[in-house]
Structure 1
Amino acid sequence: MDPTLYNAAVEGNISGGDFSLAEYLKRDEENPYQVAPTGNTILHVAAHYGHCHFVAEVLKISPALLCHRNKKNETALHVAANEGHIEVVHSLLSMDEHYKETLMRMTDENGEIALHKAVRSRHQDEARLLAKEYPEFEFPSNKAQETPLVNHSLLHTFWSINIYASWIFHSML
């Protein structure tokens, strides 16, 4: 990936100085599809850093990137849900109603949908949004046979036990 494009995605820079994201992406039809060694596109990178405005601008020009996968088979939605960027999650889901169902069903290399990522990373708001956006969807289990709801209850139980153990430890001092 061109370092100028990568840095723009990291910084969320749509325009500044001699750089214009729109002009850069339109200059060559292959520009939006450049990838980093991880297979991440600029959409993945911007989703990772939480740059909602950058994500929206990229998708105006190259909407097909919405379902593009990196080397871990993750979409930008997986990345945003994992990182806890609710604005980006919302933006990705509202881009195109046609792609929404497809996007929400896409699994990564572990068989996880974006909801698995949000739950595992303890991003409750993102998990609620993903579940609410597609209420009739039967959320599948991943390759470890874990559904997002099982992950949520296990994480909640583990978190509660840790808090209780910490409280007991501190009360003994």
Structure 2
Amino acid sequence: MENYAYVLNGVVVVYPVPIQTGFTLAQCYHADYVANCVAVPAGVTPQPGWVATETGGVWSFAAPSSSPAPTLAQMQATQSALMQTACKAAIEGGFTSSALGTSNGYPSDQETQMNIALVAVSGGSLWCQPSSGGWVFTAHTAAQAQQVQKDLNTHIQTQQTTYAGLLSQVSEATTVGAVQAISWP
């Protein structure tokens, strides 16, 4: 399975970008997000904050060179942006629901979120992944789809609550090192 890094302005923001089993990057995320994702060569493990450079279609990654240390305010802004990106990736990285009687994985990219809301009105089919295998386009009653939507909402609220807590930690940190130590769980 290929790994991807989310790169913004030549800097790794998220690695690895979570991709739900059985889906491609493009199926899991909005096109604007995918446009900033780059394939990471096997054996390479870039870290958030590393410099990403593309040469002849191949990406390389390096720890940032020595430069003036960032101020507390700069690091707080950077870390807040990292947390926002990580929250979005977690929200769109899929969730589970037992609406069909057993636990199934569901994608949660923006398009799928809209589809779940539509199917919750009168029933229909949704993509889900049983624990036993691959993705299946499965019929859901309105009640089942409403439960999937409730589980999606719980998933989103959990990620946003985590994000809010991390933002508080970032803003309350009093040293650059303390800010850098805060990461998405």
- Could you say which structure has the greater relative contact order, defined with CA pairs below 8 angstroms and 6 or more residues apart? 2
Q: What interval of TM-score do these two structures reach, taking the shorter chain for normalisation? A: under 0.3
Of Structure 1 and Structure 2, the greater helix share is in 1
Given the two structures, how large is their TM-score scaled by the length of structure 1? 0.24
**Structure 1 or 2: more strand by fraction:** 2
